[in-house]
Structure formats: structure tokens, C-alpha cells
């Protein structure tokens, strides 16, 4: 019998066979596995982002899960409600009827002119004041599709339902003053006179020289600068931007940006317990921040259907006067933009610039009387 052939197996060869065996027995991922995982992660991220930018549903006043209705309200033609507050003399005997439009992050209770006008002047002139909650504020129903025009028509319908007559006076403060431009555009035939108290300017109104509006916007605090840009360019991000904690968001009344007079006024209000941040806060946004503050930003600083800078005189042939008041040290609403508008409309706007005054000048002692007397006396 022939002897068997001997075969040497070297260590290196053994290791090679072992590696091939291990390699063939390992886990093999299916084709396209990693792209599928990435797609799922992307879909999850998009879903999370979508949920993050969605505002919570409003808590409608008077609904089963909403705050109670405590204010006087009217129902508009479209079914919405507007809450209002009346002050001064009875409208049945009033000689002068005034609709007051509140500003940003306040409500009908913050009618500074009715609050600070002396009782003697109110009686002497026979002044009736009505202030109302703008849509989404206080106890007025939200209005998701509101426009500059719809807000003017809300005021007209409020006046009609309260029986204020064919004409009434209008006073708008801050962002409420901005709505005054809409009233001048859409309901001038109802206005006996208009007073705009440091009305907020939209930095993107086309009539402003770009260098002027850009410079004014850059002077805003960083938190406000970015919040306003978000409201203008990507309004669907406004709620997320102003509720997140990663980047600076809106902080319009932070003390470090106020001028000396503004700080003094705020200190006096707080000392008296009359600051809207102390007293009125719970009444301002019971239906949610989005329906009040954030929609306000989107409309006020979005794209308007007309440009107040380019407006024609709405009172041609009539003796109706528009008074624009502005503090030269206002850190919230730049005086430079008001001066430009006033100069463009010098034939029909009376411009009153207050030296050393800021955004809260209507709270200064005696100022409300001066504003009311000027409104009633027209040209003076």
C-alpha cells in the first residue's frame, strides 16, 4: 500500500481560512439600508419641526375650556365678538366721542388717555371714551384672517353698534396708532379727527428710503430686530421664535433699552401699582400669546396692502385734522421715521415732537389733557 501524501498547513494559511470563514458568517445589511435609515431620521426631524412651530389652539372666551366672559361685548357680522369698556360721560349726552385703540401686549383696560385726562376737562368738553380689545386680545375673539382693512372695519362696526353717530374721534397708541393708518385709508368718512401717539412704523413700507428704514431697524435691540425680521419674512415661524430659548426673542419693554423719561414713568406706574405688567397682564392674553401678540407682529410688520408713506390726504375739502405725537428719545418707535412721514404729509398732518420724551409720554402728568385739547381744537 502506498504511503499517504503528507501536507503541511502553515499558520498564516490557517489564519487566512479562518478570516474567510468569519467574514462569510458575518451580518450582511440589505442593499439601501443606510439611505432608508437616513430618510426615516429626516422624516422624524421634519415631523418634530412641524409640531414645534405649530401654535397651541386658542382658549376662546366663553367656550367650555376657555376663560369666562366678564366684559361688555358686541357681536360682529361675521360672528366674532369684540369686548369694550366705556368711560367718561354717557354717550347719550356726549359732545365728543372717542374710540381708543390700544397698543401691543395690553388691552381695553389700558386706555391711557381716558385714564389720565382730568375729570374736569372730561366734564367741560363732554367726552365719552370707548376702548376695545383688538382681535385675540383680552376677551375679543381671535381673527386668524385679519387684515389692516378688517381691523378698520371692526372699529366702524363697533361705533355703529354703540350708536356713536356718523363721525367720531380716533386715538391710537403705539401699535394701535399703526392701525390708525388703516382707518385713515378705509373709513375716513367716519372720522371727526385722528390722533396718533407714537404709532409703530413698519420698516418695510416701500415709501421709506431704504437707508433710513434699515438704519432705524438696526438701532432696535437685538431681540426685537430678529423678531421683527422673522415676522416679516417667515411669519409662520413667529410663534416658535418668540417661545424658544435658543436665540434672543422679543423683549420690547426691557428696562435697559428705555430712555430716562421712560424709566421714570415705569417706576412711577409700578410704585402706584398701575403698571399693565402688574395689573393687566392676566387680562391681556388669556386666549394665548399667538392669537394676541404673535398675530399682531405678523400683521403690523408684514406686507401691507397699501403704503401709509405714500397716502394722499383722505380729507380733501374737509376740516378734519390728523395729529401725530412723537417723543424724540423713543427707543421703541424711531422718531426718524415719524419725521419722514410727517414731512411727506405736512399739508394734512400736524406733527408734535416732544423733546426729551420717550414711548410712554402719554402717562406724563398733564400730557393727556394737552393731547385732548389739541385734538378738539384741530389746527392748534
Residues 6+ apart with CB under 8 A from 48: none
**Residue 100 near residue 113 (C-beta atoms within 8 A):** yes
pTM: 0.85
Q: What is the pLDDT of residues 290-336, one digit of tens each?
A: 999 999 999 999 999 999 999 999 998 778 899 999 999 998 899 99
| CA distances for 181 relative to 310, 367, 377, angstroms | 11, 23, 21
Percent of the chain with pLDDT over 70: 83
Structural contact between residues 292 and 285, judged by C-beta atoms closer than 8 angstroms = yes
Sign of CA dihedral 107, 147, 352, 85: negative
The kind and range of the H/E element at 127 are strand 127-132
Residue 279's pLDDT band (cuts 50, 70, 90): very low
Task: List, for residues 232-263, the tens digit of each pLDDT value.
Answer: 999 999 988 888 878 777 764 455 567 788 88
Q: What is the mean pLDDT of residues 22-36?
A: 62
Q: What is the pLDDT of residue 10?
A: 54
Amino acid at each position: 500500500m502506498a504511503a499517504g501524501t503528507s501536507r503541511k498547513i502553515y499558520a498564516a494559511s490557517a489564519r487566512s481560512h479562518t478570516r474567510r470563514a468569519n467574514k462569510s458568517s458575518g451580518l450582511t445589511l440589505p442593499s439601501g439600508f443606510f439611505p432608508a435609515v437616513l430618510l426615516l431620521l429626516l422624516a422624524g426631524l421634519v415631523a418634530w419641526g412641524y409640531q414645534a412651530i405649530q401654535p397651541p389652539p386658542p382658549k376662546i372666551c366663553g367656550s367650555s375650556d376657555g376663560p369666562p366672559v366678564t366684559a361688555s361685548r358686541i357681536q360682529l357680522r361675521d360672528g366674532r365678538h369684540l369686548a369694550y369698556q366705556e368711560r367718561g360721560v354717557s354717550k347719550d349726552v356726549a359732545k365728543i366721542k372717542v374710540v381708543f385703540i390700544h397698543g401691543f401686549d395690553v388691552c381695553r383696560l389700558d386706555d391711557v388717555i381716558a385714564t389720565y385726562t382730568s375729570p374736569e376737562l372730561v366734564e367741560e368738553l363732554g367726552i365719552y371714551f370707548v376702548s376695545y380689545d383688538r382681535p385675540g386680545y383680552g376677551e375679543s375673539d381671535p381673527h386668524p384672517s385679519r387684515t389692516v382693512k378688517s381691523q378698520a372695519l371692526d372699529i366702524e362696526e363697533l361705533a355703529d353698534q354703540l350708536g356713536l353717530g356718523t363721525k367720531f374721534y380716533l386715538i391710537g397708541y403705539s401699535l394701535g396708532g399703526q392701525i390708525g393708518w388703516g382707518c385713515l385709508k378705509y373709513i375716513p368718512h367716519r372720522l371727526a379727527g385722528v390722533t396718533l401717539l407714537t404709532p409703530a412704523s413698519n420698516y418695510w413700507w416701500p415709501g421709506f428710503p431704504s437707508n433710513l428704514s434699515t438704519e432705524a431697524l438696526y438701532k432696535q435691540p437685538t431681540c426685537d430686530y430678529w423678531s421683527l425680521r422673522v415676522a416679516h419674512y417667515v411669519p409662520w415661524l413667529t410663534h416658535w421664535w418668540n417661545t424658544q430659548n435658543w436665540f434672543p426673542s422679543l423683549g420690547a419693554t426691557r428696562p435697559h433699552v428705555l430712555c430716562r423719561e421712560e424709566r421714570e414713568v415705569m417706576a412711577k406706574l409700578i410704585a402706584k401699582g398701575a403698571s399693565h405688567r402688574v395689573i393687566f397682564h392676566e387680562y391681556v392674553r388669556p386666549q394665548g400669546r399667538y392669537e394676541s401678540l404673535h398675530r399682531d407682529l405678523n400683521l403690523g410688520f408684514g406686507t401691507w396692502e397699501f403704503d401709509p408713506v405714500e397716502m394722499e390726504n383722505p380729507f380733501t375739502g374737509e376740516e378734519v385734522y390728523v395729529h401725530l405725537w412723537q417723543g424724540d428719545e423713543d427707543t421703541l418707535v424711531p422718531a426718524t421715521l415719524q419725521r419722514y412721514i410727517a414731512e411727506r404729509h405736512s399739508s394734512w398732518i400736524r406733527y408734535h415732537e416732544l423733546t426729551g420724551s420717550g414711548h410712554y409720554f402719554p402717562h406724563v402728568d398733564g400730557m393727556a389733557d394737552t393731547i385732548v385739547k389739541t385734538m378738539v381744537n384741530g389746527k392748534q
